Amino acid sequence: MPTIKNILLVTIIAALVWIFAESETLRTSDVRLELQLIADASGQHVARPADESTWSPNITVELSGAAGRMDNIQALALRPVRLAPGSPGVPAEPGDYAIDIRQALAALPELTGRGITITRCEPASIRIRIDELISREFKIVVQANAELEGPPEVRPALAVISMPRRIADAIPADTVLTARIDADTLARLVPGRREVLTNVRLSLPDAHADALRPDAHARIDPPAAQIALTLRARSASTEIASVPVQVRLAPIELARWEIAIPDQDRFIANVRVTGPADLIELVKRGELKITATLALSFEELERGITSKEVTFSDLPSSLKVEADNRTVKLSVKRRGS
């Protein structure tokens, strides 16, 4: 007659047999993966889609294995599966290839040594292109829709583009990189003052930039430049019919000399003022006065000069003042003589 101890022993053994059988039961599972095409470890070759317009990184694989070994298999979907030139199932040399997905995934650490097999892939294969990556040096030029005082300074003067050889071969040898300064930036600059712009982005001409733009492995180093430039001040001019003449001499001489100027010489006629447009506007509105100065020194007073040219002083240096006749007649007498 079986004892309770024997019954418990048989029950435990039966449970273990059932658990083992259950763990060895064949099970299948679909896993959705994302493929990522990358460069090899040396950075000399890169895998990319053979046709960008039809490329999709998403694939579905059916995995089969013992139920006990399929636990956590969905963790495969948590990170992209990276395919590089020279990795299992992927050629290392440049060219276009059809890649068997099952062969490329067979070496995944999550699958090897676990008795899990790939029974189906959707799609079964993908077409990729292996490109050789090369570097080319390009001169940097500044593009600014404005008149500049002299050529701008660019630092650095050259930049390097790393890109697939097939793209590099299509770019002419005399192509330059452009540091384009947009209209909003130009509007903030002060004409006539040296300005330094940092982080001005670099780009190839549009025809070649379009070829580089979709390529994740193409890069410009450095991607931006520093530009020093001076905007040419916008020039304008105005004419003043008459400008008054003011006499200037040392205060101590005022009590010693009598100075007389004929009526016809008390104004300078037809005075032309040229300079930055903003200053000329102030002159036109009368907010910036133009005055002709007749400066007399002690020696000139002692000599009793009878004429002298006036100057247009006390004005911004960027203004240029001209007149057809700047000579003023005068008479000088010592007081009390």
Among residues 103, 94, 109, the alpha carbon closest in space to that of 124 is found at: 103
> What pLDDT does residue 187 have?
87
Q: Which two tokens stand for residue 294?
A: 């007749």
Interval 207-241: pLDDT, tens: 677 666 656 667 889 999 999 999 887 788 999 99
Residue 20 has pLDDT above 80, yes or no: no
> How wide is the angle at C-alpha 284 spanned by C-alphas 279 and 286, nearest 5°?
95
Does 132-230 match 235-334 in CATH topology? yes
- Average pLDDT over every residue of 265-282: 91
CATH architecture of the domain 132-230 equals Beta Complex (2.170)
Alpha-carbon dihedral sign for residues 273, 274, 279, 285: positive
**Predicted pLDDT of residue 68:** 65
Alpha-carbon distance of 90 to 81, in angstroms, equals 13
pLDDT at 17 over 60: no
The model carries a pTM of 0.52
What confidence tens digit (pLDDT) does each residue in 165-216 have? 888 888 888 899 999 999 899 989 888 889 999 999 998 877 677 666 656 6
Q: 206-232 burial by CB neighbour count: b if 16+ within 10 A, else e? A: eebeebbeeeebbebeeeebebebbbe
DSSP string, 82-138: EE-TTSTTS-SSSEEEEEEHHHHHTT-TTTTTTT-EEEEEESSEEEEEEEEEEEEEE
| pLDDT band of 23, cuts 50, 70, 90 | very low
Per-residue confidence (pLDDT) for residue 30, from 0 to 100:
85
- Range 235-334 has CATH code 3.40.50.2300: no
User: Among residues of the chain, what percentage have pLDDT more than 90?
Assistant: 45
Provide the pLDDT for residue 15.
Answer: 47
Domain boundaries, the chain: 27-123, 132-230, 235-334
Task: Kindly report whether the peptide bond that precedes residue 156 is cis, defined as omega within 30 degrees of 0.
Answer: yes
Distance of alpha carbon 310 from alpha carbon 291, whole angstroms: 9
Tokens of 298: 């002690």
CB 313 within 8 A of CB 245: no
In this prediction, residue 6 carries a pLDDT of: 57
Mean residue pLDDT across the chain: 85
Residue 27 reports pLDDT greater than 80: no
Q: What is the largest CA-CA distance in the chain?
A: 162
62-119 pLDDT per residue, tens: 888 877 667 677 777 788 888 999 988 899 999 999 999 988 888 777 677 667 788 8
**Residue 7 has what pLDDT?**
60
